[in-house]
Amino acid sequence: MRRILPDAEDEPDLVAAYAWPRDHWLRLNMVTSTDGAAWLKGRSGGLSGSGDKRIFALLRGAADVIMAGAATVRTEGYGPVVPRESWGALREGRPPAPPIAVVTRRLDLDLSGPLFTESQPYARTIVITTEAAPKDRREEAAAGADVIVAGEERVDLTAAVDELRARGLRHILCEGGPRVNAQLAAAGLVDELALTVSPVLVGGDAARILNGVASRTPLELVQVLEEDAFLFCRYVRKARDEPAA
């Protein structure tokens, strides 16, 4: 892997390259085809490569919590994050792995699956849901996860992020899907986009990495890495008081 922006360097230090800029930070991590598709045949893995998988693992290891929408959790078959030996220094002073926080309006999840039955006490799965979610489902979820109620009919992501940070989970990595990403952007919560551009055209009807309510978040490109024609880009939100170009 090599860095081509802001300066050229072969085999850069990836931990330093993806260091958190501030104490409170929300990073989206997504992969897209060159024509803007967020998945291939319904899954993001079809767009990935070895470099993307290394960065994916690094970003997970650096996070305090990993946020994902219910559709992504179901489609991608999420389970608890498994600690990696390589994360030792990266997670010094923290639990061996971060918890998964699932955003779900109606709690339409398999509560008997590994994400709820196999999570460790130090990384107990978190469910972020609404007052409208059936009470019996919330009670069932609470048996295998920590439940955060944020919003009445729809998940209030601002309140959800505030609650995560109140629990000491200040560095948030969101892995999608596109609808959750769009809601986070519309709420002004996205600090960074870590975007892998896969060297493939897929066409079809796949969503973009943001799919839903329209909003505008001006970004600055601060880093580009390259490997095997994949581009790994870091975009950081411009300062709120900085006028758009």
CATH class label, 2-237: alpha beta
Tell me, what's the pLDDT at 42?
80
Dist CA 174 CA 180 (whole Å): 9
Q: Where along the chain do its domains lie? A: 2-237
Interval 121-169: pLDDT, tens? 999 999 999 999 999 999 999 999 999 999 999 999 999 999 999 999 9
Please determine, for residue 43, whether its predicted confidence score (pLDDT) is greater than 90.
Answer: no
Kindly state the DSSP code that residue 45 receives in the 8-state scheme.
Answer: G
Residue 56: pLDDT band (50, 70, 90) is very high
Q: In what order do the strands lie in the sheet with 146-149?
A: 9-10, 2-5, 219-227, 230-237, 192-198, 25-33, 171-174, 65-69, 100-103, 126-129, 146-149
Task: Name residue 57's amino acid.
Answer: A
Least confidently predicted of 21-25, 100-104, 217-221, 237-241:
237-241
Pairing of strands 192-198, 219-227: unpaired
Query: What pTM was estimated for this model as a whole?
Result: 0.95
Tell me, what's the pLDDT at 240?
65
Interval 69-124: pLDDT, tens? 999 999 999 999 999 999 999 999 999 999 999 999 999 999 999 999 999 999 99
Tell me, what's the pLDDT at 28?
98
